[in-house]
Amino acid sequence: MDTPITKLFKVKYPLIQAGMIWCSGWRLASAVSNAGGLGIIGSGSMYPDVLDEHVKKCKANTKNPFAVNLPMLYPNIEEHIETIIKNKVPIVFTSAGNPKTYTERLKSNGIVVVHVISSVKFALKAEEAGVDAIVAEGFEAGGHNGHDETTTLCLIPMVKKAVNIPVIAAGGIGDGKSMLACMALGADGVQIGSRFVASEESSAHINFKNAVLNCKEGDTKLTLKELTPVRLIKNDFYHKIENAYKNNASTQELQELLGRGRAKKGMFIGDLENGELEIGQVSGMLDKIMPAGEIVKEIINEFFDTQHNINQIKI
């Protein structure tokens, strides 16, 4: 496939596996890159030495380009940046922060920089900061998200119209049909998170993977907007948040309820009651755990089949 994104990343398909805390290490990233997509290591849950190990292992397991996701809220960010530069990581996806802070430094080291946004306003800021492309993430997405609740279907055309750099769609994409739909809306590529949580190579705990497969329509909700909005499975922890809202909890009380280490507890340790279980609405469509390379193959095949079928429609 030939799009501004395949050219920018030097990959076969404009299909990116999202960087995801506790779920996307070197195994998943290298499997996706080997299948012709772009794999991303999620550094937000890694100590600096752990990221260094994952980058080295990813390099040893794929000859193809891969990336690191750098959430800018991360406390040891300087050490992560040094690891990325030292290991010559070719592409970085920054998120959750101001794109101005690190773009110039990364680019001056020859790194392609992509920034994640969820509104037109922040898309323009990212373009102004000099990033090479943006990920526009809609309301359906798993993990942290914007405040505005703009769905992918509405966000992509608006962002595409506003900026002159390549746009990668994210949020609610789980198969070839939705990939094609996003590209029909103007996206130059897609980023997929939730579907890859349910892959063999994802480092998510098996309890969490099975909870994702059990999700039906309506089983996730975007919450904790006063802290950082996040889409979660409605488990016991989620219901505690709901009760706190009913009792008019302050931001500080919500912060105390969230505490520390909830995401690790839920997604990596597999505590389905007390942990934070981040997943997107697309979980309602997932019914099996597959090897990541097979997921890429299935999505791309369905993309081309759907494109063919649409071309058959008689007008």
Ligand X SMILES: Cc1cc2nc3c(=O)[nH]c(=O)nc-3n(C[C@H](O)[C@H](O)[C@H](O)COP(=O)(O)O)c2cc1C
Residues that bind ligand X (CB under 6 A): 18-21, 23, 42, 44, 69, 71, 95, 116, 137, 140-143, 170-173, 191-194, 197, 267, 278-280, 282
State in angstroms the smallest separation of the CB of 279 from ligand X. Answer: 5
Nearer CB in complex with ligand X: 123/282: 282
The pairing of strands 39-42 and 112-117 is unpaired
For helices 77-86 and 48-61, the axis angle rounded to 10 degrees is 30
Question: In 259-291, which ranges are continuous DSSP H helix?
Answer: 262-263
Nearer CB in complex with ligand X: 64/199: 199
Query: Which DSSP helix (H) or strand (E) runs through 190?
Result: strand 189-192
Nearer CB in complex with ligand X: 6/118: 118
Nearer CB in complex with ligand X: 117/163: 117
Nearer CB in complex with ligand X: 223/249: 223
Question: DSSP letter string over 131-185?
Answer: -SEEEEE-TT-SEE--SS---HHHHHHHHHHH-SS-EEEESS--SHHHHHHHHHT
Nearer CB in complex with ligand X: 8/190: 190
Query: For ligand X, which residue has the nearest CB?
Result: 193
- How far is residue 111's CA from residue 314's CA, in Å, rounded to a whole number? 46
Backbone φ, ψ for residue 107 (5° rounding): -65, -35
State in angstroms the smallest separation of the CB of 246 from ligand X. Answer: 27
State in angstroms the smallest separation of the CB of 266 from ligand X. Answer: 9
Nearer CB in complex with ligand X: 163/232: 232
The secondary structure of the chain in percent helix, strand, coil, rounded to multiples of 5, reads 45, 15, 40
State in angstroms the smallest separation of the CB of 150 from ligand X. Answer: 13
- How far is residue 165's CA from residue 265's CA, in Å, rounded to a whole number? 38
State in angstroms the smallest separation of the CB of 140 from ligand X. Answer: 5
Residue labelled with tokens 């595409």:
160
State in angstroms the smallest separation of the CB of 18 from ligand X. Answer: 3
State in angstroms the smallest separation of the CB of 174 from ligand X. Answer: 7
Positive or negative, the Cα torsion across 118, 122, 124, 128? negative
Residue labelled with tokens 């994702």:
212
DSSP state, residue 87: T
State in angstroms the smallest separation of the CB of 159 from ligand X. Answer: 14
Nearer CB in complex with ligand X: 21/211: 21
298 to each of 177, 232, 303, how far by Cα in Å? 11, 26, 8
For the record, the structure tokens of 89 come out as: 């990581």
